[in-house]
Structure 1
Amino acid sequence: MTDSPTPALTKPAFGAALATPAEGSAPAGAASVPLVVAIDGPAGSGKSSVSRAAAERLGYGFLDTGAAYRALAWHALAHGVDTSDATAVLEVFGDFDYAISLDTTDRWVRVGGVDVTAAIREPRVTDAVSGVARVAPVRHAVTELFRRLVASAGLPGVVVEGRDITTVVFPDAPVRILLTAAPEVRAARRSAELTDQDAAKVAAALHQRDAADSTVVDFLTAADGVEVVDSTHLDFAQTVDAVLRVVETTMGARDGR
């Protein structure tokens, strides 16, 4: 990692020009565009933890794209907005002052002057995420933010994880991976993470999240050129190793090694 200040994503005023920069183009003054490792997958597949560990091993930055939608859900709830109301979500998005760290060790998410790193993981926020994420203008604007952040990160590479990362956000990334696992395995893992919640409720919530998100993006089918890593029978360390093997193999083939 560099010694420069931690790169962060901040949101310009909604309604500003949202022209998508050309893939592979560098911002003015940038030495080079970071290599992108794009990782997709359903809830409970381990995307965040595996991607972060892989980024640390590679010496890359790490972008949890789902945090942006969680932060917006938190922001909407803080303003008493019904997140199933697309018009209301768009209105509250207008003053959504968002920032996120790309550092693998110094992780933080902020909305305005509030550190919401822990708050966006609360069950009430999780329940509201799909409502804000399915609003098309919001997805378009946030996607543009992700691209600008990565392009200007000043890092050798960034591991970007979330829904539709390999197909919509970074469809031309040199490394694209679909990380998945059997539904029952994903539910068990999520339940183990949320030790204060009933296992049956966690499984039901995960199923509901999958069903809701599947109306917006296809996160269970690998697009052409996307490598699948199925972690159903792998532990955490083995899954990270499998992801790193895909990175090494893909980049080796690209470089003629």
Structure 2
Amino acid sequence: MSPEASALIIAIDGPSGSGKSSVSKAVAAQLGVGYLDTGAMYRALTWWCLDQGIDLTDEAAVVEAARSLPLEQSTDPTDQRVSVGGTDVTDEIRTTAISSEVSKVATNTGVRPILQQAQRDRMSAIAAETGGVVAEGRDITTVVAPDAPVRILLTASEEARLRRRSAEVHGTADEEAIAATRDQVLRRDRDDSAVSQFTVAADGVVTVDTSDLDFDESVEAVLAVVASLTGDAEPDPR
């Protein structure tokens, strides 16, 4: 990855429910740069394989699908759209049906280097176009963009993560909703941790714990890290 030297490259990793997607979008919007949701790429590939009748346990077939994935993603953090083969799958890839299957794709060791290179290329293109990029996922700080000037691990307690994801998926964070969400969140993290390290910050990666922070406070905490590491990063006045 070799974007212009002046581009602001921010890499953010974190487990499910840590707030990395919503916080990353808000940070990108405030800084006036582009945004890349790398998790959406794995979800889009999962949707594409299922749509094409590809068995997700056929690792070689999924790898081939990854090589030719007809994916388009918007770069605007305030208007995220994902299309595959000309079909808008923005909402579809967030369904439980995809969430329950995506780990089969994300843990495919042949798929990961293909999508990781696509992510590097996409980050470079976004940075060149918008002057910077906030890319978030699970191995962005360590594998995709280990040389990014700003690398952050956004994390939160298990309780906080389950509560947030329950509210997001079920519209409530009561005991029943949390129970319904627990397996999906914890199993996904457990499965993905076999091929990606996103629970402990690597050397040079700053940890931001959002357990006791609300959304606005989480965004401000990340912006503070950006400012401290770059020295001159201020929100875009637009």
TM-score by length of 1: 0.84
Whether 2:217 is the aligned partner of 1:238: answer yes
Residue in 2 that maps onto 1:136? 109
- Decide whether the 8 Å contact of 2:34 with 2:76 is kept in 1: yes
* Paired residue type of 1:58: L
Matches within 5 A, 1:184-203: 184-195=159-170, 198-203=177-182
2:135 match: secondary structure: strand
Question: CA offsets, 1:186-226, max 9 Å, x none?
Answer: 01100000126943120121111111011011110100000
Matches within 5 A, 1:30-41: 34-41=7-14
* Paired residue type of 1:49: S
**Take 2:123 and 2:62, find their aligned partners in 1: how far apart are those partners?**
25
* Paired residue type of 1:120: I
Question: CA offsets, 1:41-74, max 9 Å, x none?
Answer: 0011111000000100111111100000000001
- Decide whether the 8 Å contact of 1:188 with 1:203 is kept in 2: no
Matches within 5 A, 1:79-98: 79-98=52-71
The 10-residue stretch of structure 1 (75-84 or 115-124) with the greater mean CA deviation from structure 2: 75-84
Residue in 2 that maps onto 1:76? 49
Residue in 1 that maps onto 2:236? none
The 10-residue stretch of structure 1 (235-244 or 72-81) with the greater mean CA deviation from structure 2: 72-81
**Take 2:59 and 2:25, find their aligned partners in 1: how far apart are those partners?**
32
2:231 match: secondary structure: helix
Rate the CA distance shift 1:155–1:55 in 2: closer, same or farther, 3 A: same
* Paired residue type of 2:118: L
**Take 2:44 and 2:86, find their aligned partners in 1: how far apart are those partners?**
13
- Decide whether the 8 Å contact of 2:67 with 2:114 is kept in 1: no
> Which residue of 159, 167, 186 corresponds with 1:207?
186
**Take 2:195 and 2:225, find their aligned partners in 1: how far apart are those partners?**
27
Question: CA offsets, 1:212-254, max 9 Å, x none?
Answer: 0110111101000000000010000000000000000011199
Whether 2:46 is the aligned partner of 1:67: answer no
**Take 1:148 and 1:38, find their aligned partners in 2: how far apart are those partners?**
14
The 10-residue stretch of structure 1 (226-235 or 31-40) with the greater mean CA deviation from structure 2: 31-40
> Which residue of 117, 136, 141 corresponds with 1:161?
136
The 10-residue stretch of structure 1 (76-85 or 56-65) with the greater mean CA deviation from structure 2: 76-85
Q: Aligned-pair RMSD on alpha carbons?
A: 1.8
* Paired residue type of 2:199: L
**Take 1:78 and 1:49, find their aligned partners in 2: how far apart are those partners?**
28
CA displacement at 1:77 relative to structure 2? 1.3
Structure with a larger share of its residues in helix: 2
Unaligned segments of structure 2, at least 5 residues: 234-238
**Take 1:236 and 1:98, find their aligned partners in 2: how far apart are those partners?**
30
Unaligned segments of structure 1, at least 5 residues: 1-22
- Decide whether the 8 Å contact of 1:34 with 1:151 is kept in 2: no
**Take 1:81 and 1:199, find their aligned partners in 2: how far apart are those partners?**
32
CA displacement at 1:129 relative to structure 2? 1.0
- Decide whether the 8 Å contact of 1:34 with 1:150 is kept in 2: no
- Decide whether the 8 Å contact of 2:99 with 2:184 is kept in 1: no
Question: CA offsets, 1:157-210, max 9 Å, x none?
Answer: 100000100000000000000000001110110000012694312012111111
- Decide whether the 8 Å contact of 1:40 with 1:165 is kept in 2: yes
Whether 2:106 is the aligned partner of 1:151: answer no
* Paired residue type of 2:7: P
* Paired residue type of 1:177: I
- Decide whether the 8 Å contact of 1:33 with 1:152 is kept in 2: no
Equivalent pairs counted in the alignment come to 227
- Decide whether the 8 Å contact of 1:33 with 1:151 is kept in 2: no
* Paired residue type of 2:131: P
CA displacement at 1:152 relative to structure 2? 2.1
Runs of 4+ displaced beyond 4 Å: none
Rate the CA distance shift 1:152–1:91 in 2: closer, same or farther, 3 A: closer
**Take 1:232 and 1:123, find their aligned partners in 2: how far apart are those partners?**
25
CA displacement at 1:141 relative to structure 2? 1.3
CA displacement at 1:82 relative to structure 2? 2.6
